[in-house]
Amino acid sequence: MELLVKKARRGDAEAFITLIEENKQSMYKVARGFLRNEEDAADAMAETVLNCYEKIGTLKDTSYFKTWMIRILINNCKDILQKRRRSVPVEDIPETEDVRSERGMEEFRELIEPLREQDRSIFTLYYVYGMKVKEIAADMGMKESTVLSRLKRGREALRDEMESSRVKGGRL
């Protein structure tokens, strides 16, 4: 992949297209995980491809292309979410269920819903996309120790939430 990135940085459009093709599935999963609907995910991906094409010359380390691209995608997703919040209350947005979506991903999103947005991002990158703490820290502009503590705090919050649900449901 590094050779393709180097070619793309030199202006090779075919190499850039190949890079995007190799990473479009990961991009889709991240965008869909954040935005929860097809149209917004497609918009975020398109914007990301354009941003990456225009700014690939600013990428310092070719081995971090995917991390760099995902970071741009996450920022685009956050921009879309912010615009959505300003224009329509979240409660008024209908949940659209895509038949092709994995049930496990939906359950994961429901599980982490009580967490703060940034913590949900960290959980998604860590548990769904298998990113390392170091990569997440670099992508999100924070220290590794911060990512670790947010993962720990989030797991504790989810454990407490699950325990209180069991108690309310009379299962304990």
Task: For the domain made up of 102-172, give the CATH fold.
Answer: Arc Repressor Mutant, subunit A (1.10.10)
- The per-residue pLDDT for 33 is 83
Give the pLDDT of residue 44.
93
Tell me the C-alpha distance between 157 and 112, whole Å.
10
- Which residue stretches of the chain are H helix? 2-9, 13-35, 38-55, 65-87, 103-112, 117-123, 133-140, 144-169
21 versus 128: the higher-pLDDT residue is 21
Is the pLDDT score of 93 beyond 70? no
The rounded mean pLDDT for the chain is 82
pTM greater than 0.85 (yes/no): no
Residues of the chain with CATH 1.10.10.10: 102-172
Separation between Cα atoms, residue 75 and residue 73, nearest integer Å: 5
* 1-100 CATH: 1.10.1740.10
Where in the sequence of the chain do the CATH 1.10.1740.10 domains occur?
1-100
pLDDT at 92 over 60: no
